[in-house]
Amino acid sequence: MPEPRTAPSEPLIAVEHLHKSVTDSTGTLDILRDIDFSVPARQSLAIVGASGSGKSTLLSLIAGLDVPTRGTVRVQGQDLFALDEDARAALRARSMGFVFQSFQLLAHLTALENVMLPLELAGRRDARRQAAGMLERVGLGQRLAHLPRVLSGGEQQRVALARAFVVQPALLLADEPTGSLDFATGAAVMELMFELNRQQGTTLVLVTHDRQIAARCDRRITIEAGRVAAEELQKA
């Protein structure tokens, strides 16, 4: 399958009239209602809002990990939900990196093996060299053989950053990446994430409740009760 190309005037992400509802025995709950925005390539976007506002659901839909009730998400010009599950997974492997609050490292793999994994899945023969180099860049060159259980929370999140950036993704999706860390460690991790993001020219979509972190992004969208309540350009 040929890789989708984004035309110069086309946003890297386009979210169009996105709705998400779930139904159970008590009735229907509208999680997201008519969400509509776009993100140009290389721009950083913070999605903020109270707990339960729909931020993480929106991020999952942008990643194609969840399916909307109706509406469209385009990434690099490709309609995610015109693809089957396998094709969406292939697009994620090719074009997206992920950083989560809970790190999502594989406990039985070393730091090096965790970072090698997406490269190996992509068929890269130089996976070990590339992974070791990225761990060196995030300050963990002496921790390659360590399992996650012997790493601190900040070290685990740096491994997760290395894993996300090692494939040089067009799009990085981060969901409360400092939520499990103390203030000082979280600030250091965020500084590293923004530095890597600038160096690689990645488009960043960041879900956070931290207004100081959100203020570092180019734009901010506030979600309230499943709708876009405000959209603000924060940098010229």
The whole-number pLDDT of residue 138 equals 93
Furthest-apart CA pair in the chain: how many Å?
54
Within-domain flag for 96: yes
**pLDDT tens-place string over residues 76-100:** 999 999 999 999 999 998 899 999 8
Within-domain flag for 188: yes
More confident residue, 1 or 193: 193
β-bridge mates for residue 14, sequence order: 38, 74
**pLDDT tens-place string over residues 40-82:** 999 999 999 988 899 999 999 999 999 999 999 999 999 999 9
Q: Which domain holds residue 44?
A: 13-233
**114 phi and psi, to 5 degrees?**
-60, -40
For residue 80, give the CATH number of its domain: 3.40.50.300
Number of compact structural domains in the chain? 1
The whole-number pLDDT of residue 235 equals 63
Within-domain flag for 8: no
Confidence (pTM): 0.88
Q: Which token pair is 116?
A: 């090698």
